[in-house]
């Protein structure tokens, strides 16, 4: 059983939505089980989102395994309560590929159960700003360019000669 989180599950909000979905899924499974006892006919498994399916797969849980699904809920609740959250600000909203790369890097290099939030701010030009707790890091283009203001005249003179 893998204890990691799928790469598509990157934010605490997603986790909350996912837990709600899992809770509804377990209810649906419980209802199915009750109906099956009465009618002696098994209903089809209720549909789940791709993300929940991926999470169940990560935890080696079958979609129709009610007991395992019920046990997963407190685990996810524990993960949510202790989750490390890093806020990432980019110049534009990230595409899926960039979001995956950033999430992957943080979970590999920092912590496997780390969550990210993404926001966009045009004025940073490019690069990113990071905020984790009380710490903030500026890897934006704007800062890099402002830190090297003196270079523009230096380059101009160098290119002139």
Partner 1 sequence: METFPLNTTIGFIAMAIISLVSLLWSVSLNNKLIKRPSPKIYEIKMDSSKILTDTDMKDVRDKAQKQLSDITEQATSRLQQSLNNTVDGISARLNDMTETSLSQEFEKYQVSLEALREQSIEEFSKLQKELDTRRNLYSEQLDKKVVAEFKKRMELFDGRLNDVVSTYLVESLGNQVDFGAQANYIISSLEANKDVLKKDILE
Helix (H) and strand (E) counts in the chain? 6, 4
Report, in Å, the least distance between residue 58 CB and partner 1. Answer: 23
Which position among 28, 48, 56, 114 is part of the footprint of partner 1 (CB under 8 A)? 114
**Would you say 69 and 24 are in contact if contact means Cβ atoms under 8 Å apart?**
no
114-132 burial, b at 16+ Cβ within 10 Å, e below that, comes to bbbebeeeeebeebbbbbb
Among 9, 72, 102, 116, binds partner 1 (CB under 8 A): 102
Question: Any contact of residue 81 with partner 1 (CB under 8 A)?
Answer: no
Side-chain half-sphere CA neighbours of 109 within 13 A = 6
Query: Which of 2, 31, 62, 148 touches partner 1 (CB under 8 A)?
Result: 148
The whole-angstrom separation of Cα 52 and Cα 128 is: 30
**133 near partner 1, rule: CB under 8 A:** yes
74 is an interface residue for partner 1 by CB under 8 A? no
Rounded distance, CA 12 to CA 51, Å?
14
Q: Total binding residues for partner 1 by CB under 8 A? A: 34
Binding site for partner 1 (CB under 8 A): 84, 86, 90-91, 97-98, 101-102, 105-106, 109-111, 114, 126-128, 130, 132-133, 135, 137, 139, 141, 144-145, 147-148, 151-152, 155-156, 159-160
């Amino acid at each position: 059983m893998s204890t990691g989180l799928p790469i598509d599950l990157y934010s605490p909000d997603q986790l909350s939505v996912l837990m709600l979905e899992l809770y509804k899924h377990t209810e649906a499974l419980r209802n199915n089980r009750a109906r099956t006892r009465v009618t002696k006919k098994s209903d089809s498994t209720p549909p789940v989102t791709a993300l929940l399916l991926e999470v169940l797969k990560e935890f080696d849980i079958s979609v129709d395994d009610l007991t395992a699904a019920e046990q997963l809920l407190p685990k996810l609740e524990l993960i949510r309560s202790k989750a490390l959250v890093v806020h990432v600000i980019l110049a534009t909203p990230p595409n899926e590929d960039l979001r995956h790369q950033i999430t992957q890097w943080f979970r590999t290099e920092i912590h496997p159960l780390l969550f990210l939030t993404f926001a966009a701010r045009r004025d940073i030009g490019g690069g990113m700003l990071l905020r984790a707790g009380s710490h903030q890091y500026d890897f934006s283009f704007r800062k890099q360019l402002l830190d090297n203001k003196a270079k523009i005249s230096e380059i101009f003179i160098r290119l002139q000669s």
